[in-house]
Structure 1
Amino acid sequence: MSDVYAPLRYDMKPNPGDCLIFYHEKFEDEEPRKGAGSEVEMLQSILQNFKFERFFVYKDPLEDKIETVLDEWVAKDHKNDSAVVVAVLTHGDEDTLSTYNTEYKPRQIWDKVAECEDLKGKPKIFIFQACRGDVIDSGKGEVDGKKRQVDKYQDLYPTEPDMLVIYSSTLYNPSMRGWMVQSINEAQAGNKCHGIDIMRVLTGANNIMNQKEDTVPGNESENGQTPEKKIKQCLEVYSTLRKELYLTP
């Protein structure tokens, strides 16, 4: 019987696989996400430092376009790939992500990617930059806002093995645009992450993010006022990885 505690690493080749990036700026009933393109550029730079070279970027795709892209991607030959990255940058709430005029569950992304037989047993990384509610956390145990009941936690957290899900904020909390990408960029800048497992890199990024703060309009009080509130933020990382994942040698 093999030693389950022996060091285990995913076998990662140079240029390990595809990066699919869906980002949204325009919405029918929500404020535009101005500057989303610069977020995408920084994210691509980070992934290039992690040795990814193949990028497929889609601006303002509708829900059926996302489904088509993923269906076509799954149908391709990925036998020589070591991993895949799928990133979504958009508006959202507790358990949905937004397109221009519809909402869908995060699970719809990884369920489709899980159909790729060539990547069975290989790491699949999902990055979601989106708000997950409107409960503002001041970082001092003070919160402002109400939690909406989540129907199915399976929509937010995969049960399949070999998956890493990175949310830009914790459940029920808003997400400041750019903080996640900036924090990961700082954590891996200057080759600081070479030879370091991805979970340690993300822990460093979370430490950097937790030092950031800003002010945002709070929720309306009983007297009709909306005072400004200090906001803090943390990454949420959910993993079903079975091995250590090193994206840099």
Structure 2
Amino acid sequence: MSNRDEDECGAGNYRFNLVPNTQTHCIHYSFFSEINSLDPAEEYKMCNKRRVLALIFNQEKFFGRLGLNDRVGTSADRYNLKERLKDLKFEVRCYDNYKQVDVLDEIAKAAEEDHSDADCFLLAFLSHGEDNHVYCYDGKICIQDMMSMFKGDNCRDLVGKPKIFIIQACRGKLFDEGVTVTPADAVDGIVEVFADACAIRTLPAGADFIICSSVYLIYHKHTRPPTKKVSWYIQALCEMLRKYGNSLEFTELLTLVNRKVSMRNQMPCFASMLTKKLYFRPKK
């Protein structure tokens, strides 16, 4: 049997007490039996009639009192992402410079739609952001509130289906100047890894969510390449979707995006609660 301890974040630490059966002199490993029955190659079923809906909220301009700069070039990001998702047979809807109440209304309406014949759901938000929030034209919205609309108790049709959230937004006020990594940075074989607490904290209770973020720490990202009016993150994501969107498992594709963007002194991340492998293979 097992005893379970929980840390402050609710993560479980298991201690297993192996209790011999006095009659058969066998040891019960029911927990390990469950693990052994899992198929590591199992994929999400993507054979429904529709690939399903993708929402892109693109914020270029903001109400003056918010004190936010216009995001020049974000329309190119929106266009490129829309085209790549259309290539993967998503039904794409774009919303430019929507107010807070209108953004929430459109997301709520999408959650209430019939998704019974759909494979998955995707929402992308291109904007400024801070502390678990993204900005609309006249205010900010909590990322968790958006995601919670698609939890199982609110959107039954998407239970067991992938729900993908892409967040392209500044997340802090400091500049990441980069770090030179050498073997000496590892002490006794232990490497300290900093995850994006903001992104991980955003995930609502429930499986089959994945959130993809353009920045992994509280640093203000180097927003755009000097010669191109697009973001490095969306540019890299669109490039990988174009090359490998129909063939590569999605988290592996995101890892390639991380590698490419990291060369630009920016570190994206993704936090996954997916329970199976996710492919966007061509529909027959």
Q: Do both share a fold (TM > 0.5)? A: yes
Residue 150 of structure 2 corresponds to residue 113 of structure 1: yes
Partner of 1:95: 132
Q: How do 1:19-30 residues align onto structure 2 when only pairs under 5 Å count?
A: 19-28=54-63, 29-30=67-68
Q: How do 1:88-237 residues align onto structure 2 when only pairs under 5 Å count?
A: 88-114=125-151, 115-140=154-179, 156-175=202-221, 176-177=223-224, 178-189=231-242, 191-212=243-264, 232-237=265-270
Kept in 2, the 8 Å contact 1:16–1:82? The answer is yes
Shift of residue 42 of structure 1?
Answer: 0.7
Distance 1:72 1:93 in 2: 25
- In structure 2, relative to structure 1, the CA distance for the partners of 1:36 and 1:122 (3 Å cut) is same
Deviations 1:94-129 (A, max 9, x none): 322111221221101101122211000100000000
Distance 1:237 1:51 in 2: 23
Tell which structure's C-alpha radius of gyration is larger. Answer: 2
Write the letter of the residue equivalent to 1:16: R
After TM superposition, the structure 1 stretch with the greater mean CA deviation from structure 2, 81-90 or 15-24, is: 15-24
Q: Give the gaps of 5 or more residues in structure 1.
A: 143-149, 213-231
- In structure 2, relative to structure 1, the CA distance for the partners of 1:67 and 1:172 (3 Å cut) is same
Partner of 2:272: 239
Kept in 2, the 8 Å contact 1:92–1:131? The answer is yes
Write the letter of the residue equivalent to 1:27: F
- In structure 2, relative to structure 1, the CA distance for the partners of 1:182 and 1:151 (3 Å cut) is closer
Partner of 2:16: none
Kept in 2, the 8 Å contact 1:187–1:208? The answer is no
After TM superposition, the structure 1 stretch with the greater mean CA deviation from structure 2, 118-127 or 180-189, is: 180-189
Aligned positions, number = 221
The higher relative CO (CA closer than 8 Å, separation ≥ 6) is in 1
Q: Give the gaps of 5 or more residues in structure 2.
A: 1-33, 182-195, 225-230
Kept in 1, the 8 Å contact 2:54–2:121? The answer is yes
- In structure 2, relative to structure 1, the CA distance for the partners of 1:167 and 1:202 (3 Å cut) is same
Partner of 1:219: none
Write the letter of the residue equivalent to 1:120: V
Give secondary structure in 1 for the equivalent of 2:149.
helix
TM-score computed with the length of structure 2 as normaliser: 0.72
Distance 2:263 2:76 in 1: 22
Percent identity, aligned pairs only, is 26
Kept in 1, the 8 Å contact 2:85–2:92? The answer is no
Kept in 2, the 8 Å contact 1:94–1:171? The answer is no
RMSD of aligned Cα (Å): 2.3
Shift of residue 160 of structure 1?
Answer: 1.8
After TM superposition, the structure 1 stretch with the greater mean CA deviation from structure 2, 201-210 or 155-164, is: 155-164
Shift of residue 155 of structure 1?
Answer: 5.2
TM-score computed with the length of structure 1 as normaliser: 0.81
Give secondary structure in 2 for the equivalent of 1:19.
strand
Write the letter of the residue equivalent to 1:201: L
Kept in 1, the 8 Å contact 2:50–2:117? The answer is no
Shift of residue 199 of structure 1?
Answer: 0.6
Partner of 2:94: 57
Write the letter of the residue equivalent to 2:104: E
Give secondary structure in 2 for the equivalent of 1:55.
strand
Kept in 2, the 8 Å contact 1:159–1:240? The answer is no
Shift of residue 210 of structure 1?
Answer: 1.1
Give secondary structure in 2 for the equivalent of 1:91.
strand
